[in-house]
């Protein structure tokens, strides 16, 4: 009985000890569960924070990517602008070179044209001061013209003589009232034909000097050709005692007097 009581007491002690241990284990379990839950909660919070941080990092990364793409686009645009600017610079350089070449050509052309204009001005001045007069004198002093004019004057004088003779005969007939014999007039019936031939020859007269002048005018150096033809330089050999002679201003007076004399002799054809 005592042994049983002892066993019961021992068992009760064991039960109490086991109950204490169970309670301690239960408390430890609860504490562990609480700590686990706290750890889980903390980890959940950490995970949420990490998710937020990851989302922020993703957002920043996307911003970086977008900015990088924008920078690439801007870079391509800048490259295009640089290429366009370089192309524009090359075109401007080419245009400047073309303009410079054109300006040089224009300046050269202007110099050439100015030289031509100056030459033409000098030649025009020579033609105005001497050329026209020399050409006119060459025509007036041409032997062919002298011969044609002399022939025309002679033929005109003969026809005028005949007309005057017939008019005088008519006056005599009117005064005396009878016919007057004009058959012994020295003028032949061919006088009018001779005058017509002389007039035709004069109208179609060809002067060699005019042919030379016309040929000279066909060339670019026409002025020099006319000068050498009409106004050649005079070379005079002078001795030690002789002085240079001036221009003979009256050199053409003889020819002018000759033509004046012919005109005076021609008259109206009456003797």
Residue ranges in 177-250 assigned as alpha helix (H):
191-203, 208-216, 222-230
Residue 131: inside a domain, yes or no?
Answer: no
Number of domains in the chain: 2
Domain containing 152: what range? 141-233+254-266
Could you tell me if 145 and 200 lie in one domain? Answer: yes
Could you tell me if 86 and 195 lie in one domain? Answer: no
Q: pLDDT for 41-59, tens place per residue?
A: 888 888 888 888 888 888 8
Domain end, chosen from 111, 129, 150, is at 111
3-state secondary structure 144-163: HHHHHHHHHHHHHHHHHHHH
Residue 4: inside a domain, yes or no?
Answer: yes
- What is the per-residue burial (b if ≥16 Cβ within 10 Å, else e) of 188-221? eeebeebbeebeeeeeeeeeebbeebeebeeeee
Surface-to-core class of residue 157, CB atoms within 10 Å of its CB (0-12 exposed, 13-18 middle, 19+ buried): buried
Q: How far is the C-alpha of 113 from the C-alpha of 93, rounded, in Å?
A: 29
Residue 129: inside a domain, yes or no?
Answer: no
Tell the residue number behind the tokens 């204490």, with chain if given. 20
Could you tell me if 33 and 99 lie in one domain? Answer: yes
Q: What tokens does 171 get?
A: 């006056």
Q: Is the pLDDT of residue 217 over 60?
A: yes
Domain end, chosen from 73, 92, 111, is at 111
**Quick one: average pLDDT of 235-258?**
51
Q: pLDDT for 156-207, tens place per residue?
A: 777 776 666 666 767 766 666 666 555 555 555 676 777 788 788 778 777 7
**Quick one: average pLDDT of 111-118?**
86
């Amino acid at each position: 009985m005592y042994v049983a009581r002892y066993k019961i007491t021992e068992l009760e002690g064991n039960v109490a000890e086991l109950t204490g241990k169970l309670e301690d284990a239960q408390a430890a379990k609860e504490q562990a569960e609480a700590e686990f839950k706290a750890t889980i909660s903390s980890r959940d919070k950490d995970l949420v924070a990490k998710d937020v941080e990851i989302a922020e990092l993703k957002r920043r990364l996307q911003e970086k990517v977008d900015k990088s793409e924008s920078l690439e686009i801007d870079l391509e645009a800048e490259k295009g602008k640089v290429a366009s600017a370089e192309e524009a610079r090359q075109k401007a350089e080419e245009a400047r070179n073309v303009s410079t070449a054109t300006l040089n050509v224009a300046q050269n052309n202007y110099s050439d044209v100015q030289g031509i204009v100056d030459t033409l001005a000098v030649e025009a001045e020579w033609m105005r001061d001497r050329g026209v007069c020399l050409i006119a004198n060459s025509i007036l002093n041409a032997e062919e013209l002298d011969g044609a004019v002399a022939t025309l004057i002679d033929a005109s004088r003969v026809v005028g003589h005949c007309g005057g003779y017939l008019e005088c005969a008519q006056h005599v007939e009117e005064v005396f009232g009878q016919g007057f014999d004009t058959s012994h007039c020295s003028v032949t019936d061919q006088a009018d034909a001779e005058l017509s031939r002389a007039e035709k020859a004069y109208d179609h007269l060809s002067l060699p000097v005019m042919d030379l002048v016309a040929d000279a005018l066909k060339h670019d150096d026409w002025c020099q050709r006319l000068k050498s033809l009409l106004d050649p330089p005079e070379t005079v050999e002078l001795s030690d005692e002789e002085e240079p002679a001036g221009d003979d201003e009256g050199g053409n007076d003889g020819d002018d007097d000759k033509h004046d004399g012919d005109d005076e002799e021609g008259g109206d054809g009456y003797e």
